[in-house]
Structure 1
Amino acid sequence: MCKKSDPAPEFQEQNLAPLSVEFDNIVGDRTFSVNNTGSPYTNGAGEKFSISMLQYFISNIKVTTAEGKSYTVNQDSSYFMISGADKATRFAKVNVPEGDYTSLTFTMGVDSLRSTMPIDKRTGVLDPAAGGHDSGGMYWGWNSGYIFFRFEGNSSVISDDANGDPTGKKQFKYHIGGFGGYSAPTINNIKTVTLDLRTAGIARVRKDRQSNIHLFVDVMKVFNGTNSFRIAEHPNVMFSEYSTKVANNLTGMFRHDHTEN
């Protein structure tokens, strides 16, 4: 018998059934589109911009019942990279025990333990060799760390002095990473997101059907979140202290829209 002070028990590896989490990218009240130069978006500061790239890591998925009983997906099966240019990547498909789940938790980024594991433990979307940084990869070879969130585009508000692109394009780049490890102990941009599913529909996971938790991911929150900022003032944010302010905006991107059971 559990005492009140005991932690809630976790499910065991049995009666596993399919569950998917859908990361549906949007931009404010508009659909997400890559290379939308003909119909630019406008952020809260009135700056117009287009998007050329969006990629981010989702990991360590956990579901919890109303009674507080939780199940954490086996870590080896719980790393996903969502790409705005590839709609097929928007589903994170896992297996969890049959049950009715009222809460979803996941990490945005790659945890410090996995980031420091040997290369043979970092395969699939975590393979550091899967595309170099300049070609759209999600790994800083010079810093031996993952880029958790990569968001790029163009905006006419960027000054020539701030723009270092040799093609003359006025590009913004937000490459957010840092797990607080040995290389940069003061920067830890790993974020944990927990969403209450009760208002828009809990996940009733059963073996004979596919449950899908549909999330909207509003990338406008990058600019209009808790730490709102102007593209003109911060067109390029990478491995710097200011990246922590941008990272704090990222948790606000996720909103539960509905659940399909």
Structure 2
Amino acid sequence: MKHSIIIITLFAFIFQSCKKDIDEPTFNEDNLAPLSVEFDNIVGGQNLILNSTNYKNAAGETYKVQLLQYFISNIKVAKVDGTVYTIPQDSSYFLINESDPESRFAKIRVPEGDYTKLTFTIGVDSLRSTMDVSKRTGVLDPASGHDGMYWDWNSGYIFFKMEGTSPQAPTDPTGAEKFRYHIGGFGGYSAPSINNIKTVTLDLTMRGVAQVRKTRSPNIHLFADISKVFDGVNTVSITAHPQVMHSEFSVSIANNYAAMFTHDHTEN
């Protein structure tokens, strides 16, 4: 009996030791190859065009989008054999801004190989959000004025920001009929019920694995369908909720936009 226990324990140890889960330290920059993830914002089957195109949500409300921005972070990629590579955190924060075409591409570097799965976070994780400001640089620098994606009054990042106009929205002081969705919150002590950090995992096998090599620059092309903000697991009405910021209802919007990403194809 004792021998059996020893053998089982030995096999468990060997299995755990052989598990292919690569974290940051195994590779240096010379061992890595380029990979980009493209976030192509759409509305249903249409391309998102700011300021000029009218769209309609499931509640029958007409709207135009004037601004769309969101953070993508903590990117991981996985091979078919289960090998996972996690992008070093300092290189894994991106602000997608519809008005800046270059920002749509999250450019990373990973070991060579064929990748079948992509995972990322929508928003900024609680650990990074609470780090000293010296550790929050680039798009995370609160003082840089990156398009107002930080709440000074609330000391936190806005994960997802969408603004626009709608006949169903109230008139603001400028005379415009505006709706504003500024969604953040990581479940901190001040508001534990508001945790809008969302993790997305996409299977790449159906529409093209990413064949990463030093001799090529593959691109994983994703669609981000912002109609899901209104028409996801929750139906969001502009009339009922024209302004949503740091409130309990923000969780409903975050649960919607968590499902807005799909893999369209991979360019190898």
TM-score for the superposition, normalised by structure 1: 0.93
**1 or 2, which has the higher helix percentage?**
2
Alignment check: 8 A CA contact 1:119 1:127 kept: yes
Q: 1:88-103 to 2 correspondence within 5 Å?
A: 88-103=102-117
Report the Cα offset of residue 42 of structure 1: 1.0
AA matched with 1:225: G
Find the counterpart in structure 2 of residue 145 from structure 1.
Answer: 156
AA matched with 2:168: V
1:40 is aligned to 2:47: no
- Structure 1 gaps of 5+ residues are none
Give me the CA root mean square deviation.
Answer: 1.6
Find the counterpart in structure 2 of residue 25 from structure 1.
Answer: 41
Determine the C-alpha separation between the residues in 2 that align with 1:215 and 1:231. 27
Find the counterpart in structure 1 of residue 219 from structure 2.
Answer: 212
Alignment check: 8 A CA contact 1:130 1:137 kept: no
Find the counterpart in structure 1 of residue 168 from structure 2.
Answer: 157
Q: % of aligned pairs identical?
A: 62
Once the two structures are superposed, residues 131-184 of structure 1 have per-residue CA deviations (whole angstroms, 9 ceiling, x without a partner) of 28xxx31000011000000000000012x4xx4x20121100000000112332
Determine the C-alpha separation between the residues in 1 that align with 2:235 and 2:110. 37
Q: 1:219-238 to 2 correspondence within 5 Å?
A: 219-238=226-245
1:13 is aligned to 2:20: no
AA matched with 2:46: R
Determine the C-alpha separation between the residues in 2 that align with 1:2 and 1:101. 25
Alignment check: 8 A CA contact 1:143 1:183 kept: no
Determine the C-alpha separation between the residues in 2 that align with 1:260 and 1:56. 24
Determine the C-alpha separation between the residues in 1 that align with 2:107 and 2:236. 34
AA matched with 1:145: G
Change (3 A) 1:227 1:33: same
Find the counterpart in structure 1 of residue 85 from structure 2.
Answer: 71
Alignment check: 8 A CA contact 1:16 1:96 kept: yes
Determine the C-alpha separation between the residues in 1 that align with 2:19 and 2:237. 44
- Structure 2 gaps of 5+ residues are 1-12
Find the counterpart in structure 2 of residue 3 from structure 1.
Answer: 15
Find the counterpart in structure 1 of residue 123 from structure 2.
Answer: 109
| 1:242 maps to which of 243, 249, 253 | 249
Once the two structures are superposed, residues 27-81 of structure 1 have per-residue CA deviations (whole angstroms, 9 ceiling, x without a partner) of 1111111111xx3111122211011100000001000011111000000000000
Larger radius of gyration between Structure 1 and Structure 2: 2
Report the Cα offset of residue 129 of structure 1: 1.4
AA matched with 2:126: S
Report the Cα offset of residue 3 of structure 1: 1.7
Determine the C-alpha separation between the residues in 2 that align with 1:186 and 1:216. 29
Once the two structures are superposed, residues 192-229 of structure 1 have per-residue CA deviations (whole angstroms, 9 ceiling, x without a partner) of 00000000000010011101100011111100111112
Q: 1:48-87 to 2 correspondence within 5 Å?
A: 48-87=62-101
Give secondary structure in 2 for the equivalent of 1:106: strand
Q: Please identify runs of 4+ aligned residues in structure 1 that moved more than 2 A.
A: 4-9
Report the Cα offset of residue 124 of structure 1: 0.6
| 1:177 maps to which of 184, 201, 214 | 184
